[in-house]
């Protein structure tokens, strides 16, 4: 049991919030989900590692490699094929780049 949950549900002293009624059941359920979802127990706790793949590419198949001349098992690079060409669009004023990803296997950058 989480100490936080025990205090807000008034199962242990000191009750939280102090000198106030117990938190409503809907909020207690939300706190329980938050704790079960990975709330760290202490400031020095380490987060649990996820068993899910870290990226979409890791679900698609093995990592792509650049072809090596004469190498065995070489695969084509990571550049996608068959995508329609899109003309560069220019905004009336500049905006900050909020996401950027670069392929380690080819000269492909996504903004």
Whole-number Å distance between alpha carbons of 37 and 34: 5
What is the reported pTM? 0.38
Do the Cβ atoms of 100 and 109 come closer than 8 Å? Answer: yes
Pair 64, 77: CB distance under 8 Å: yes
Q: Cα–Cα distance between 109 and 111 in angstroms, integer?
A: 7
pLDDT by 10s per residue, the chain, length 111: 788 889 999 999 998 888 888 889 999 998 888 888 777 777 788 877 766 655 554 455 555 555 555 555 445 555 666 767 777 777 777 777 888 888 776 667 777
Question: Looking at residue 46, what DSSP letter applies?
Answer: -
């Amino acid at each position: 049991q989480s100490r936080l949950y025990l205090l807000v549900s008034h199962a242990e002293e000191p009750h939280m919030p102090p000198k106030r009624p117990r938190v409503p059941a809907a909020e207690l359920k939300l706190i329980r989900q938050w704790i079960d979802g990975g709330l760290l127990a202490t400031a020095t706790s380490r987060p649990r590692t996820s068993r899910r793949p870290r990226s979409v590419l890791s679900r698609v198949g093995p990592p792509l490699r650049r072809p090596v001349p004469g190498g065995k098992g070489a695969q084509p690079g990571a550049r996608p094929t068959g995508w329609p060409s899109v003309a560069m669009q220019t905004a009336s004023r500049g905006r900050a780049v909020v996401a950027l990803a670069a392929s380690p296997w080819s000269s492909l950058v996504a903004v």
